[in-house]
Homo-oligomer: A and B are copies of this chain.
Amino acid sequence: MSKIKAVVYGVGTMNCIITRMLVDKDVDIVGAISRSPSKVGRDLGELTEINRPLGVLVSDDAAEVFERTRPDIAVIAVNSFMADEVPQLRICAEHGVNAVTLSEEALYPWNTSPEITAELDRIAKSTDATLTGTGHQDTYWVNMVAMLMGTAHRIDRVIGRASWNVADYGLDVAVNVQIGRTTAQFEQWLRDAQRPGTFGRNVLDALVADTGLTVTSITTETLPITATSAMHFQSLDIDVAAGNVIGFTDVDEIQTEEGPVFTFEMSGRIYGNEEGDINEWSIEGEPNLVLSNGTVPTRLTTCTQLVNRIPDIIAAPAGFVTMEKLPQLRYRAFPLHSYLNGN
């Protein structure tokens, strides 16, 4: 069986890790695409965790790369929202190239971006390509939760709690999310800000769609998280007075006609020492059930799931196939191409 041929689309933090994982799993990287002038023309291996030449030069011409290399899959890590992601997904679909993206909205975009998702689905079906969104949320916020739900007889309520570390994204993001402001300033910002939709919405959309329940209302509420005492955050060199903002929680909630309520609380804040990303879910019903993954290395589990999903995406039917429709995710102990043809 021949190796899987992949094109790396976007050469940022995530694809630097993913490129190394693909090489580890014996994937043949045949092309790399980036718009960044500082990367175009350079060897992908030198820009990523490989740290040695791969013989693959970064190009800014996606169409040329696809026509020349005819890859089995394109690995896209460029944008978070479907509106920004359309050009990349469309060019893959038009060239009949399967694509997997880390765009958070692409995890389940049917309700938040229905028209462009339907259009991409139509193009992909016409060229026999599969488009799928994945990432940390695939297993940890959707499929593992759906599996936990599968062990319940009756569900009244599903509640998820996860977090991200504002400090991981630098001072600009921290300022942007109002770190250090008073709660009054935060509320004012919240009223005025044109914040995009939450990704928690896409997570709950996927979970609820999988149950077949009928959605009656969807709400999002945002609550500030405040410092319990004066705090100094070394990683960003920021001081925050007691009572002022150290982050916020987006609470998405879906109510259903049949009764079950789904809530997802996503907190972005500055962590204290020893804190990490959490993933905690509870189900109220018969019986009550819980799931926790301690502290999760979200960035790595985003990359691992994308890589381990590749054989299933290549084998999947054509169209925009969201991850809850794929087979149960499995560990890939061997070269990735050994899992093609149902192995």
Measuring CB to CB, which residues of chain A are less than 8 angstroms from any residue of chain B? 21, 24, 139-140, 143-144, 146-155, 210-213, 258, 260, 286-294, 296-297, 300-301, 303-305, 307-308, 327-331, 333-334, 343
Asked if A147 and B151 sit within 8 Å, CB to CB, the answer is: no
Chain B residue contacts of A331, Cβ below 8 A: 146, 149-150, 152, 155, 211
Given known contacts A287-B297, A296-B289, is B153 in contact with A148 (CB within 8 Å)?
no
Chain B residue contacts of A151, Cβ below 8 A: 139-140, 301, 304-305, 308, 329
Asked if A329 and B147 sit within 8 Å, CB to CB, the answer is: yes
- Identify A330's interface contact among B150, B153, B330, CB under 8 A: B150
Give the distance to chain B from A276, nearest Cβ to Cβ, in Å: 11
C-alpha gap A148/B155 in the complex (Å): 23
Asked if B291 and A293 sit within 8 Å, CB to CB, the answer is: yes
Chain B residue contacts of A144, Cβ below 8 A: 144, 147-148
The complex is assembled from copies of this chain, and their number is: 2
Give the distance to chain B from A128, nearest Cβ to Cβ, in Å: 22
Give the distance to chain B from A342, nearest Cβ to Cβ, in Å: 11
Asked if A21 and B210 sit within 8 Å, CB to CB, the answer is: no
Given known contacts A140-B151, A146-B328, A307-B153, is B292 in contact with A294 (CB within 8 Å)?
yes
The winner among A151, A154, A304 for most chain B CB atoms within 10 A is A151
Chain B residue contacts of A297, Cβ below 8 A: 287-288
Chain B residue contacts of A155, Cβ below 8 A: 331, 333
Nearest first, the 10 A-B pairs at minimum CB distance are A150-B329, A149-B331, A290-B294, A287-B297, A328-B328, A287-B300, A153-B304, A151-B301, A292-B292, A150-B330
* 7 A-B residue pairs with CB within 8 Å: A149-B330, A151-B304, A210-B330, A212-B343, A289-B301, A291-B291, A291-B292
Q: Which residue of B lies closest to A283 (CB)?
A: B331
C-alpha gap A327/B324 in the complex (Å): 11
C-alpha gap A150/B208 in the complex (Å): 23
Give the distance to chain B from A13, nearest Cβ to Cβ, in Å: 16
Chain B residue contacts of A154, Cβ below 8 A: 24
C-alpha gap A178/B294 in the complex (Å): 35
The winner among A24, A153, A211, A213 for most chain B CB atoms within 10 A is A153
